Structure 1
Amino acid sequence: MRIEGQKIAVLMESDFYEPEILYYQRRFAEEGGEVHFLTRLWGNDRIVFRGHEYRMPFEVDESFEDMGEYDLKEYGAVIVPSGIVADRLRYTDDVDKLPPAALFLRRAFADPAIIKGIICHGMWLAAPIPSVVRGRRAVVHNNLLGDLRNMGGVYIDEDVVVDDDLVTARTGNHCHLFARTIIDQLALRAPRNA
C-alpha cells in the first residue's frame, strides 16, 4: 500500500473512456489511495454520466466547484482523463470567463505539491490556461500535437512523460502506465516514517 490515505481527484463528465475510469477506480485503491470523482454538478446533488464506448452509467456526487484552498491541498493528485471529458468540462456560460474546470485545474497547477495528471485528450482542459504547460515537457494524443505546441508545450514522443509535478500520457490505452507513474510519484513524495 504505497499511497495509503492519499486522495486522488479524477475529473468526470460524459463520454469518458470506460476501461480507463474503471482501472483508476481499482488500481489507486489497490495501493491504498482514496479516489474521488469530481465534476461540475450544475446545482444537482448528483449526475449520472455515460461512457463513450459502451454508454456505461457512472454516478458522480462530488464537485470541484467551490472547493476551498485547504480542501484542494488534501489531494495528492488531480487527473484529467481521456475521452471527451475535458472538452465537455471546458464549457463556460460566460465566454469572457474561464470555464470552472479550467479555473480548478489552474489552482491545482499553482500548488507544486499536487501531481497533475493529464492523459490523451485531457490536454484540451489546459487550452484556456496555456501558461500551465508552456515550456513543459509533455505527450498528448497525436490529434492534439498542434494544440500542445500552440500552448507552448514541448512534445516528447514517449507513452508517459514526467515533468516535475506534471505527468502526461499518450492515450487512454496507456492508463495502466500512467496510473503506475502517478503512484510512483505519489510514493516518492509521501512523508517517510522515522
Structure 2
Amino acid sequence: MAGELNGRRVAILATDGVELVEITQPREAVEKAGAQADLVSLSTGTIQSMNADINPADKVTVDKAVTDVSADDYDALILPGGTVNPDTLRGNADAVAFVKAFVQAGKPVGAICHGPWTLVEADVVKGRTLTSVPNIRTDLRNAGATVVDEEVVCDEALVTSRTPDDLDAFCAKLVEEFAEGRHPVRQAGATA
C-alpha cells in the first residue's frame, strides 16, 4: 500500500556478485510504499550484479559505504543474495557489525536466498526460524536456527525467503514488517 513506509529509511547491504532482481524488486517495493532506500556496500562507486549467479548483469550505483553509516541511520535492512555477495560480506567486519546492530536493536531485517549467510556470521540466528536457498540450510542449522522450506518466513522482525521465485511474497512481507517498525529485542546469538 502506497505511503505506509513514508519517512522510513531502508538500507540494502550488497556488494559484487549480488543477484540483481534481489536488489531491484525489494527496493521498488519499499520505495513504492514511501521509504527511502539506500544501497550500502563495502565502498562507494558501483557493484557488479548478476543474473542467476553466473551471468553479469547491470552495474549498480552504491549510495553509501558501510563505514560511513550505522544502523541508527536506518529503520530497516534488506540482505539480498547471490552466492558471492553474502560470502564476501560475511568476511567483512564492518558489514557484519552493521547487520548485527539491526538485529540487536529489534529493527526489521529481510534476507533472501544466500542473504542469511551474513546473519549467521553476525551470530543472530540462534533460536530463530528462517528459510533460505537449500545450499546454506546446514549452515543455518549449525548456527542454531530452525530451518523450514516455505516461500516466506517471518520470525518477529526477521523476514526470510528462499529464491527469486519467492520475491512477490518476500516483498509484501517486507513492507508489512517494515511498517510495524521495531520489535522487542530477542536474545539471539552466542551459538558456541
Category of TM-score, reference length = shorter chain: 0.7 to 0.9
TM-score normalised to the size of structure 1? 0.83
Structure 1 residue 80 displacement after superposition: 0.9
Structure 1 residue 55 displacement after superposition: 2.7
- Identity %, equivalent residues: 27
TM-score normalised to the size of structure 2? 0.84
Whether the 8 Å contact between 1:79 and 1:117 is mirrored in structure 2 is yes
Matches within 5 A, 1:62-141: 62-68=64-70, 72-83=71-82, 84-92=84-92, 99-112=93-106, 114-130=107-123, 132-141=124-133
Q: Is 2:156 the partner of 1:158?
A: no
User: Which moved further from structure 2: 167-176 or 115-124?
Assistant: 167-176
Distance 1:50 1:64 in 2: 17
Q: Secondary structure at the match of 2:114?
A: helix
Structure 1 residue 126 displacement after superposition: 2.2
Distance 1:129 1:2 in 2: 29
Distance 1:74 1:48 in 2: 21
Q: Secondary structure at the match of 2:57?
A: coil
For structure 2, list consecutive stretches of 5 or more residues without a partner in the other structure.
183-192
Whether the 8 Å contact between 2:108 and 2:181 is mirrored in structure 1 is no
Amino acid at match of 1:79: I
Sort the Cα spacing of 1:151 and 1:77 in 2 relative to 1 into closer, same or farther, 3 A. Answer: same
Q: Secondary structure at the match of 1:73?
A: helix
Whether the 8 Å contact between 2:160 and 2:170 is mirrored in structure 1 is yes
Distance 1:189 1:40 in 2: 26
Amino acid at match of 1:181: K
Aligned residues: 175
Per the alignment, residue 171 of structure 1 pairs with 163
Amino acid at match of 2:131: V
Amino acid at match of 1:111: A
Structure 1 residue 152 displacement after superposition: 0.5
For structure 1, list consecutive stretches of 5 or more residues without a partner in the other structure.
93-98
Aligned-residue RMSD, C-alpha: 1.7
Deviations 1:8-60 (A, max 9, x none): 1100101111122121232211111111110111xxxx221111124311111
